[in-house]
Amino acid sequence: MSTTTVPEPHVLAVDDSIVDRAVISRLLRSSKYRVTTVDSGKRALEILSLDRNVHMIITDYCMPEMTGFDLLKRVKESAELKEIPVVLMSSENSPTRIRRCLEEGAEDFLIKPVRPSDVSRLCSRVMK
């Protein structure tokens, strides 16, 4: 009888802060996710064009050049990528910003610093 090994879900984490990338990466890995981290929206799109096996994108909102909101829009406008859940993170608790992201199709909006409980809640809900 053959057994099939279920691969770990793959999360793409996008943040221009090296500290935040380290923390979010560790948070996700401790929840048994495979994680790829990049430092910009542009780089995220490059990864997505090469690897379609991404189960969730978690991105900082405030980034230079391409914000997390811009990245969200690009993903949701793409026929190939639009089904990938996108989660935004920000240290600013701005209701306007949160509403705007959710209306654009974000799955969730986390306030930094992100906690293990945020990741657990998020992953069990979004990754179903």
Partner 1 sequence: MAESKLSPLQWWTEELFLEEEYRDTAAVVSSAGHHRRLSLSPRVVKEKAASMKKNLFDQASILSSGVSFVPTVYAQDVFYFPFICSSLTKCVLIQQGYLDEQFCQVEDLQDEASPNFVEEVVTLFFKDSGRLMSNIEQALEKYPRDFNRWDAYMQQLKGSCSSIGASRMKNECMSFRDSCGQGNVEGCMRSFQKVKREHAILRQKLESYFQLLRQAGPAGAATRPVM
Q: Which of residues 90-119 bind partner 1 (CB under 8 A)?
A: 91, 112-113, 115-116
- What is the total count of residues that contact partner 1 (CB under 8 A)? 16
| Nearest distance from C-beta of residue 17 to partner 1, angstroms | 6
- Whose tokens are 């099939």? That residue is 4
d(CA 34, CA 65): 27
> Nearer Cβ to partner 1, position 26 or 82?
26
Q: Which of 11, 12, 14, 20: binder of partner 1 (CB under 8 A)?
A: 20
Which residue from 21, 71, 15, 64 is spatially nearest to 45, judged by alpha carbons? 71
Cross-sheet strand order for the sheet of 56-60: 34-38, 10-14, 56-60, 86-90, 108-111
Distance CA 37, CA 25 (A): 7
Q: Which stretch binds partner 1 (CB under 8 A): 22-30, 34-42, 50-58, 77-85?
A: 22-30
Distant-in-sequence, close-in-space partners of 84: CB < 8 Å, separation ≥ 6: 48, 54, 55, 56, 57, 75
Q: Does 23 bind partner 1 (CB under 8 A)?
A: yes
Instruction: Tell the smallest beta-carbon distance from residue 22 to partner 1 (Å).
Output: 5
Toward partner 1, which CB reaches closer, 57 or 89? 89
Binding site for partner 1 (CB under 8 A): 16-20, 22-23, 26-27, 30, 62, 91, 112-113, 115-116
